[in-house]
Chain A
């Protein structure tokens, strides 16, 4: 059973059309939830860390929020350069120290 599930798998938005990506997780004790951006042929690029329910982080057009069961990555007025795969990962209190569990990602395409 996947511990991290991301939806949708793919999302196409017109430039300026705001939306949200979802990351739901099942862990024994969340120690941290991480959002990454991955461009084709590159390694994941760190975006945000969230540690507790109710926490929010913002960076440019991106805003990440966290509840006890899921996280959302809100994209406001996206631009074509926001096109990428967005990955969510969790650090579980009960798992191997240092091990992150990743979702399969949401592939975002923003067209002009």
Chain B
């Protein structure tokens, strides 16, 4: 079946602009996760959704970052007033449930802020 998809695959934006990154999880997966991967760094957890609810937003780096999920499916990660330090690969994953289930990742969106 179809895996996790993300769009766009690449995004170049100017400092100060807003960007939206989209994630379409595996059908039937109730849990959805966002991670950030910077060069030479491990994956940094940002936020997760159980259904449409995000119980813990403490992983978001700043208040410029927000995320939503509608219909228990597609999720959007929005970064406002982008900064150069936001440049990274943003990865989305989904899983059947929230507890100790393997997470399946999408291909990521490479964001470059100039």
Contacts and interface: CB of A to CB of B under 8 A. Distances in A.
Interface in A20-69: 31-32, 34, 36, 41-46, 49, 51
B25 interface: no
A99 B59 contact: yes
A98 interface: yes
A103 B48 CA distance: 19
Chain B's interface size range is: 20 to 34
A34 B102 contact: yes
A18 B43 CA distance: 27
A105 interface: yes
A104 interface: yes
B102 to A, nearest CB: 5
Contact of B108 (A34, A42, A46, A104): A42
A77 to B, nearest CB: 26
Contacts of A96: 45, 48, 56, 58-59
Contact of B105 (A41, A45, A51): A45
Nearest to A34: B102
A99 B108 contact: no
B99 interface: yes
A102 B43 contact: yes
Given A43-B91, A43-B106, A96-B58, A104 B41 contact: yes
Interface of A: 4, 31-32, 34, 36, 41-46, 49, 51, 87, 89, 91, 96-105
Given A43-B91, A87-B43, 14 more contacts: A43-B108, A46-B103, A49-B100, A87-B42, A91-B99, A96-B45, A96-B58, A96-B59, A97-B48, A97-B56, A98-B31, A99-B45, A99-B56, A101-B45
